[in-house]
Chain A
Amino acid sequence: MPVKNHVREARQAASLTQEALAAQVGVTRQSIIAIEQGKYGPSVKLALELAAALGVRVEDLFELEGGRERGSR
């Protein structure tokens, strides 16, 4: 199931450039671009670091496209 992300929106809300965010989480600018374009699914560790750097919860950054409602089984 594809993963949708809101990294670009969260980054812009935090007034960070792609380069600044990349430096904060220790990856290249290309990786941030690839994540924002949905071309790369980051590791759990990087997803957590992105969430921490952007001041949001990781589940607000990433979600399963057409996924289940939270709490449903």
Chain B
Amino acid sequence: MSGMRSYYISRIVVAVGFGALFFLGGAPWWQAALVALAVIAWFWWAPRSGRYQVNPELGMTPLRRDERSQGINDTAGRNAFIVVMLVTGATAVYAGLTGSTQVPVRALNWLLILGVVVYYGSDFWLRRRGR
């Protein structure tokens, strides 16, 4: 992992930015610090995970997907998009049937979380099952 200094420095800046966003959004300082640490841990793990080609000569953006990883990423993204669209449609139908005129913002948060879960679940499954 030599020659990756600019990658790590830039990712620490990104992680601190994430933590600051949480803090400014009203989260307690320790939650913001945990988020920043989790982001740093993810950026530390990524070049060692074997999921990316690592090209230190590319400076701050040394990680590249190869053709298999790109295919998995595309499929996982498509799965997440389809599920989120279907659930959004189902929510609209449910709201129409029950006479609700408003969908709570919290439901949108859950939709986003569902999309992330489907994406990473698909990614994990496709890597294990083979593609």
Asked if A43 and B67 make an inter-chain contact with CB atoms under 8 angstroms apart, the answer reads: yes
Asked if A34 and B53 make an inter-chain contact with CB atoms under 8 angstroms apart, the answer reads: no
* Interface majority SS (helix, strand, loop, mixed), chain A: loop
Q: How many A-B residue pairs have CB under 8 A?
A: 39
How near does chain A come to B76, taking the closest CB pair, in angstroms? 15
Which residues of A (37-51) have their CB < 8 Å from a CB of B? 37-40, 42-43, 46
Which residues of chain A come closer than 8 Å to B50, judged between CB atoms?
Answer: 28-30
Which residues of chain A come closer than 8 Å to B129, judged between CB atoms?
Answer: 39
Which residues of chain A come closer than 8 Å to B127, judged between CB atoms?
Answer: 30, 34
Chain B interface size range: 10 to 19
Asked if B68 and A40 make an inter-chain contact with CB atoms under 8 angstroms apart, the answer reads: yes
Q: How far is the CA of A40 from the CA of B52 in the complex (A)?
A: 16
Does B75 count as interface, using CB distance less than 8 angstroms? no
Which residues of B (30-59) have their CB < 8 Å from a CB of A? 50-53
29 residue pairs A–B, Cβ–Cβ below 8 Å:
A26-B66, A27-B53, A27-B67, A27-B68, A28-B52, A28-B53, A28-B66, A28-B68, A28-B69, A29-B50, A30-B50, A30-B51, A30-B69, A30-B127, A31-B68, A31-B69, A34-B68, A34-B127, A34-B130, A34-B131, A37-B130, A39-B129, A39-B130, A39-B131, A40-B68, A40-B131, A42-B67, A42-B68, A43-B67
Task: List chain A positions with a Cβ less than 8 A from chain B.
Answer: 26-31, 34, 37-40, 42-43, 46
